[in-house]
Amino acid sequence: MPVKYHIDHERRTVFAKCDGKLTPGELFRYQRDIWSMPELAGYDEFVEIIATDMVVPSSVGLDLRGLAELAASSDAREDAKLALVAQDDLAFGLARMYKLYRKLEARGTRQVEVFRSRQEAMDWLGVRGDVPV
């Protein structure tokens, strides 16, 4: 599965790693599956994008906007955070585009930042320890 995740209830954080052949459908599935769980409301999220085989359709802007709309509909707290980590230039650019769409979404309350390194993202989230995915 291109999106692997681990729910850490103690740290109130969902850790995810996108790897392999990543499609918009996989991202939407992850978003629906994870954030439809009521017990995760208000959790922070750490997403590392490693996808070496990213499938970037010509409609990528619309896909990212739709994903941002879906994600914003499940936001629960203003102080919840989403840290996106992408070292690859393409993934980093797409993550920044997603951040912009999240910012434009009126229902969205989650703070979103994009990072090049795991450590920067972990520091921003205030999470200590290893990334479990």
Structure confidence by residue, pLDDT tens digits, 6-45? 999 999 999 999 887 777 788 888 888 998 899 999 999 9
**Residue 51 pLDDT > 70:** no
Q: How is residue 107 annotated by DSSP?
A: T
pLDDT of 78 strictly over 80: no
Q: Which CATH architecture has domain 3-125?
A: 2-Layer Sandwich (3.30)
Query: 20 in the Ramachandran plot: left (φ > 0), alpha (ψ -120 to 50) or beta?
Result: left
What does pTM read for this prediction?
Answer: 0.88
Q: Phi and psi for 2 in degrees, rounded to 5?
A: -65, -25
Task: Provide the 3-class DSSP secondary structure of residue 89.
Answer: helix
CA distance 43 to 23: 24
Ranges of each domain in the chain: 3-125
Q: What is the DSSP letter of 39?
A: G
pLDDT at 126: 96
Dist CA 2 CA 23 (whole Å): 8
The number of helix segments (H) and strand segments (E) in the chain equals 4, 7
Do the Cβ atoms of 118 and 48 come closer than 8 Å? yes
